[in-house]
Amino acid sequence: MDLSQAPFETLLAELDFQLHDVLQLEGREEHLPLLEAAISLAAAEFAPHAALLDANEPTFDGARVHLPPTVARTLEAYHDAGFLAAAFPEEEGGLGLPYAISQAMVAAFQAADPSTAAYPFLTAAAANLLRVFGTDDQKRRLMAPMLTGRFFGTMALSEPHAGSSLADLRTRALPQEDGTFHIVGDKMWISGGEHELSETIIHLVLARIPDAPAGVKGISLFAVPRHHLDPDGRPGTRNGVRLIGLNHKMGYRGTVNAALAFGAEEPAVGELIGRPNQGLAAMFHMMNEARIGVGLGASMIGWAGYRTALAYARDRRQGRHPDTNDPASPPRAIIEHADVRRMLMTQKVLVEGGLGLSLFCATLVDDLEGSDPSARQRARTLLGVLTPIAKAWPSEHGPRANDLAIQVLGGAGYARDYPVERYYRDNRLNPIHEGTNGVQAMDLLGRKVMRDEGAGLQLLLGEVGSSVARHRGHHALEELCDGLDAGIRLITEVSEVLSRAAAQGRVRRGLANATEYLHMVGHVLIGWMWLEQAAAALAGDTDFHRGKVQAARFFARYELPRIGRQAALLRRLDDTAMTMPDGGF
Amino acid sequence: MDLSQAPFETLLAELDFQLHDVLQLEGREEHLPLLEAAISLAAAEFAPHAALLDANEPTFDGARVHLPPTVARTLEAYHDAGFLAAAFPEEEGGLGLPYAISQAMVAAFQAADPSTAAYPFLTAAAANLLRVFGTDDQKRRLMAPMLTGRFFGTMALSEPHAGSSLADLRTRALPQEDGTFHIVGDKMWISGGEHELSETIIHLVLARIPDAPAGVKGISLFAVPRHHLDPDGRPGTRNGVRLIGLNHKMGYRGTVNAALAFGAEEPAVGELIGRPNQGLAAMFHMMNEARIGVGLGASMIGWAGYRTALAYARDRRQGRHPDTNDPASPPRAIIEHADVRRMLMTQKVLVEGGLGLSLFCATLVDDLEGSDPSARQRARTLLGVLTPIAKAWPSEHGPRANDLAIQVLGGAGYARDYPVERYYRDNRLNPIHEGTNGVQAMDLLGRKVMRDEGAGLQLLLGEVGSSVARHRGHHALEELCDGLDAGIRLITEVSEVLSRAAAQGRVRRGLANATEYLHMVGHVLIGWMWLEQAAAALAGDTDFHRGKVQAARFFARYELPRIGRQAALLRRLDDTAMTMPDGGF
């Protein structure tokens, strides 16, 4: 059974529904051919080579990094189609598409092969940072070649001793008389850090200028190309960036992941991007969109597993119904078994709900650069709260969906002949990179809720509440509306308790269960996404639409009740793990 | 940081506590040196080669299967120590140890390298089956050489079209004039199915004799050696068992997993074990202990991850407390961070709770063969209910612990330089093999609760209730006692609702959420294990003991409340997934 195309069969219908029926984006007629082109390329070029790339990870021979040749070919097709610059303004060389549409296109590639897709996604993020923070000259020399795939980009934040803790970065940037900087230090976990796929690589590096303030307020951002660039931006000899070694990962194997030494033997010449000591703010411009992208990827790897498991369950015959156990009767397709249906339904609500949240965030990113100042303000406020959730919720629950996809396939799911075990390994990266989910939870509760007085949360819960009020009265939606109203009340109550604790100086205790808090809020938001999807689906009368309404019911019954446990822990500032004696573990 | 020894540092203390303080087994002084020897061998021989074996899985050159030479060396040390026959009677060539002690020894090897340990564990299970169902001659020729490691054993149940559905097995056993059978058919997913590690391999094969009844009532069991054996049991020329190919798995890579053809070219000569058409009952004697063993393995792979993450968290310095965010202060060991503590605590309650359940079941297996008829009856009744839970609960929650171990290590956890990603891949097999967890749930609810009128469940809940009554009054245990009493009430109520539905002919609907039912009961049982552990720990006053009491509290607060959601779904016979239109997925 060839399952490699299963993720793409209904993807256009799903994206179309979410973008145009649920989010009500205008321009369906223009968007559909673009989405179709992205899905076709993903299905025809990315998906077929994913298993081969997984089995043949990058190697380093001491001089060069080697990758299977299909990677370059696949990316060339991607660049030729102009997809990398899809969301960039036409005057900058892009297609001028809404960010939400470009993210829907990205979704297709994430479902097909996230480890190949990582190269252009990192490059697009780096280019976008340069678009906002670069000088015209930097945009011409560094950004423009990224948009056509001539240069690739990276983000170089982590160091061997400092992953989550950016305050402790040690890499130095020594000012030179010609205005450049010599970068000195080791960077770790750099995706796309070394390869021969592009003319050069532009590393965006966080480093400290001498005498900068301690901590995150003394970090600046630099562009450090793999090769020295001439004034026209043509790459020449190698710059002083050296590969220390490749990291070998459980999944995402096709994405080179490198430890890099800057300036160890010869100078690593870089140029400042933006203003000195403002590097973290610039990097976070890139990082926030990357975080939303991580969540999207996690849902789409989950989607790939879900559609694969569904295709398998429709085809595979095994066993009989428990009330008709006649061995002479023919075995049933396993999709008929209640437990398989439960696993498929769970996958559906997790991945289609998560996808909804990512696309909603993408429309807010569009609003950030729109002409309406109140929409800009709303988007900024909502994204502050939503970004950590849009990163962490799908990256927790997308892998959960992948786990269930393996279980639907049984022994076949554990074998490398089928793609679902690869999806499971690939998706396990997502709770870790771009800020671990624990870091996201601290960002949400400690910064966005406690410190900023919860304005964003109030706005967000107000929007959920309005949505519930608007959809009341439809019999099919009542249970979910009830659950969401209860959820809003619980979040409000718990947030007050936690904010009060913080105000009284009990910051550590208030934050002790930040992860439970994030997932409680996340579950309510995903319930909201399902309410909006079900409400939009009531207008249709195909099985697709009925399935959306039924899935919303399933979310209300199987998933939303999980928040009661979390609220109880949070309400009483549970400190059981904190007060465990160290020697008691 | 060398983390490969972390799983063994406190394992003796843990096993000693569970066996002698909690389960109150007699013979501590004799047991401890044996446990220590097992742990030493596991730490010195099994653990160090696990990563190498994972990276160099078995290969087939068309004639022979190749494995790294460390496998044979490691197993030789295991056999030399006599561990394989630990639980066999001395008159059969064993050490005559209680099964519970032999399982505690097994635990050490599961924590060290489950994929190497699989060979002797399968062999011990096959030998045990022959001990019970074989003739004296079969025991002499087939079983005795297993106990010394000369022969290895397999269980050959699955076929390409039938994994969970044994009723559909097609392999035929054609009677010959000399009393032997010629076995004809293909078998799939055979662990240890082909290798050069032993003089021969004894395949225990399920097959149908012509004109046998349809379904599971027409299945017989055969021993089919890889080589023809002479009357003294000496292996000669090859029998007609041929390797079709190796399965390549996500984890457990060191265990050969094979598709085998019986009698495809030349006859595969087998001999009947036990009586015709009684093969499934014999196989289930082996299978039930194997299921308990799978659960034990799942907890122990979880334990390995937990202890590794704990060692890493004590060593790795990163970040500061949220209320003292001075970048000039030194970074803290990450075990100080509340979210890391929460993840470690969760791992602890899952794996030490699961281990408790497995060892409790092992004591019941001992009772099955004891001299006390009422104890035998009690053990048989309890094991009927406990076995599916002892298989499925740890194999769901052990991997959950491994997921958290990766998260504690962050990027390092995703890299193959550290063992935790391997644990995660290895443990993902456990919800699948020896009957998927969905099959276990149907066995528990459909067979043990609905069909057998719940006598086993009542006995079990009665024991939990007595335990709660006995430990009431200790302040530290009250919360858990309350939670368990509530859990007993919920299980009783829900079981009545489900049994009534089945009695009214609504079998499918009653079974629709069997998996949720199993995990609800499982969580209460693990809570019971924690009550017993905490109660036993009140007698001590070290950090080890205080940690047990605190972990029991954590289980009461973080884990036990999960059952409310499940009970609500079960109580109303939720059929949301069942009534989803097929086209709605």
Written as one string, the DSSP assignment of A286-303 is HHHHHHHHHHHHHHHHHH
User: Would you state the pLDDT for residue B169?
Assistant: 93
Contact yes or no for A577 and B338 at CB 8 A: yes
Question: What does the pLDDT look like over A428-470, one tens digit per residue?
Answer: 999 999 999 999 999 999 999 987 778 999 999 999 999 999 9
User: Would you state the pLDDT for residue A454?
Assistant: 86
Task: Please name the member of A436, A438, A577 whose beta carbon is closest to the beta carbon of B345.
Answer: A577
> Model-level pTM greater than 0.95?
yes
Average pLDDT score over residue span A318-327: 86
Q: How confident is the model at residue A552 (pLDDT cuts 50, 70, 90)?
A: very high
Question: Mind telling me how many Å the CA of A113 is from chain B's nearest CA?
Answer: 18
Q: Is the pLDDT of residue A271 over 90?
A: yes
Q: Can you tell me the distance from the alpha carbon of A463 to that of A383, in angstroms, rounded to the nearest whole number? A: 13
What separation, in Å, do the N-terminal and C-terminal C-alpha atoms of chain A show?
Answer: 47
Q: Is B578 helix (H, G, I), strand (E, B) or coil?
A: coil
Q: How confident is the model at residue A286 (pLDDT cuts 50, 70, 90)?
A: confident
Contact yes or no for B578 and A338 at CB 8 A: yes
- B407 chain-A contacts, CB cut-off 8 A: 431-432, 436-438
Question: What does the pLDDT look like over B18-38, one tens digit per residue?
Answer: 999 999 999 999 999 999 999
Beta bridge partners of B186: B261
Q: Can you tell me the distance from the alpha carbon of A523 to that of A48, in angstroms, rounded to the nearest whole number? A: 34
User: Would you state the pLDDT for residue A452?
Assistant: 74
Q: Can you tell me the distance from the alpha carbon of B582 to that of B585, in angstroms, rounded to the nearest whole number? A: 6
Q: Is B203 helix (H, G, I), strand (E, B) or coil?
A: strand
Q: How many helices (H) and strands (E) would you count in chain A?
A: 20, 12
| A159, A194, A434, A559: the active-site residue | A434
Q: Which residues contact B392 (CB under 8 A, 6 or more apart)?
A: B295, B431, B437, B440, B441, B518, B519, B522
Question: Mind telling me how many Å the CA of B410 is from chain A's nearest CA?
Answer: 6
Judged by a CB distance cut-off of 8 A, whether residue B450 touches chain A is: no
Judged by a CB distance cut-off of 8 A, whether residue B504 touches chain A is: no
Q: Is the pLDDT of residue A315 over 90?
A: yes
Average pLDDT score over residue span B69-77: 95
Q: How confident is the model at residue A323 (pLDDT cuts 50, 70, 90)?
A: confident
- B163 chain-A contacts, CB cut-off 8 A: 318, 410-411
Beta bridge partners of B269: B182
Judged by a CB distance cut-off of 8 A, whether residue A479 touches chain B is: no
Judged by a CB distance cut-off of 8 A, whether residue A415 touches chain B is: yes
> DSSP secondary structure string, B453-512?
TTHHHHHHHHHHHHHHHHHTT-GGGHHHHHHHHHHHHHHHHHHHHHHHHHHTT-HHHHHT
Contact yes or no for A442 and B339 at CB 8 A: yes
What separation, in Å, do the N-terminal and C-terminal C-alpha atoms of chain B show?
Answer: 47
Q: Can you tell me the distance from the alpha carbon of B408 to that of A53, in angstroms, rounded to the nearest whole number? A: 28
Task: Please name the member of B215, B251, B411 whose beta carbon is closest to the beta carbon of A163.
Answer: B411
Is the separation of the CB atoms in B386 and B460 below 8 Å? yes
Contact yes or no for B407 and A437 at CB 8 A: yes
Q: How many helices (H) and strands (E) would you count in chain B?
A: 20, 12
Judged by a CB distance cut-off of 8 A, whether residue A148 touches chain B is: no
Question: What does the pLDDT look like over B179-213, one tens digit per residue?
Answer: 999 999 999 999 999 999 999 999 999 999 999 99
Question: Mind telling me how many Å the CA of B80 is from chain A's nearest CA?
Answer: 33
Q: Is the pLDDT of residue A264 over 90?
A: yes
ipTM of the modeled complex: 0.98
Average pLDDT score over residue span B238-256: 97
- For residue B434, indicate whether it is catalytic: yes
Judged by a CB distance cut-off of 8 A, whether residue A425 touches chain B is: yes
- B413 chain-A contacts, CB cut-off 8 A: 432
User: Would you state the pLDDT for residue B326?
Assistant: 83
Judged by a CB distance cut-off of 8 A, whether residue A397 touches chain B is: no
Question: What does the pLDDT look like over B508-561, one tens digit per residue?
Answer: 999 999 999 999 999 999 999 999 999 999 999 999 999 999 999 999 999 999
Q: Is the pLDDT of residue B114 over 80?
A: yes
User: Would you state the pLDDT for residue B1?
Assistant: 72
Burial B371-385 (b: 16+ CB within 10 A, else e): eeeeeeebbebbbbb
Q: How confident is the model at residue A4 (pLDDT cuts 50, 70, 90)?
A: confident
Judged by a CB distance cut-off of 8 A, whether residue A431 touches chain B is: yes
| Dihedral pair phi/psi, residue B58, rounded to 5° | -55, 140
Q: How confident is the model at residue A327 (pLDDT cuts 50, 70, 90)?
A: confident
User: Would you state the pLDDT for residue A290?
Assistant: 92
Contact yes or no for A557 and B578 at CB 8 A: no
Average pLDDT score over residue span A104-119: 97
Is the separation of the CB atoms in B227 and B141 below 8 Å? no
Sign of the CA dihedral with B45 first, then B46, B52, and B53 last: positive
Q: Is the pLDDT of residue A502 over 80?
A: yes
Task: Please name the member of A413, A565, A585 whose beta carbon is closest to the beta carbon of B344.
Answer: A585
| Residue B51 amino acid letter | A
Contact yes or no for A547 and B414 at CB 8 A: no
Q: Is the pLDDT of residue A363 over 90?
A: yes
Contact yes or no for A551 and B580 at CB 8 A: yes
Q: Is the pLDDT of residue A17 over 80?
A: yes
User: Would you state the pLDDT for residue B453?
Assistant: 76
Question: What does the pLDDT look like over B299-342, one tens digit per residue?
Answer: 999 999 999 999 999 999 999 999 887 888 999 999 999 999 99
User: Would you state the pLDDT for residue B158?
Assistant: 93
Is the separation of the CB atoms in A73 and A82 below 8 Å? no
User: Would you state the pLDDT for residue A358?
Assistant: 98
Judged by a CB distance cut-off of 8 A, whether residue B517 touches chain A is: no
Question: What does the pLDDT look like over B379-394, one tens digit per residue?
Answer: 999 999 999 999 999 9
Contact yes or no for B407 and A432 at CB 8 A: yes
User: Would you state the pLDDT for residue B573?
Assistant: 98
